Amino acid sequence: MIYAAYGSNLDPQQMAERCPHSPIRGTGWLAGWRLTFGGDGWDGALPTLAEDSRSQVFVGLYDVPAADEQALDGWESADSGLYHKITVRVSTLDGELPAWTYALNDFEGGLPSARTIGLLADAAQAAGAPDDYLTELRARPCRSGW
């Protein structure tokens, strides 16, 4: 199945380093979802998804074989229970397709750090996200410092 990256893994170079056997398949949108933040990590709230019929999230799509999936679970702390996998429907120029992604196992709320917002925006830009999506992402409220 296809992996839908919405966070820092949107960056094709980062994904190539983390999952060298997982080619990029393209980009798309998670219609009916919004990018939000939750929990309270050492660097502020962590990125996650929440259902919202009025929103959409830009994603990068990757073909991830089992070995790379296991490595990615480690990178995303899914192997420790911080995140869990969900199945979503991604809208692409070729139609809709099912994909899996990660969702945080914690409450929604809290502010991400300015560092986190910068990483997410840079990754989205590297993946080819449209300017209006990048502008909205970079304008999100965040806490300063680490």
pLDDT in tens, 52-76: 999 999 999 999 999 999 999 999 9
Specify whether the CB–CB gap between 30 and 90 falls below 8 A: yes
Domain that holds residue 11: 2-130
> Which residue in 17, 51, 69, 76 is the catalytic one?
76
Give tens-digit pLDDT for 109-122: 999 999 999 999 99
Known binder of ligand: residue 83? no
For residue 140, being part of any structural domain is answered with no
> Phi-psi category of 60—alpha, beta or left, where left has phi over 0 and alpha has psi -120 to 50?
beta
Task: Answer yes or no: 17 catalytic.
Answer: no
In the chain, how many domains are there?
Answer: 1
The amino acid at 113: S
61: domain CATH number?
A: 3.10.490.10
Known binder of ligand: residue 4? yes
* Angle ∠(125,141,33) on CA atoms, nearest 5: 60
- Alpha-carbon dihedral sign for residues 51, 119, 136, 25: negative
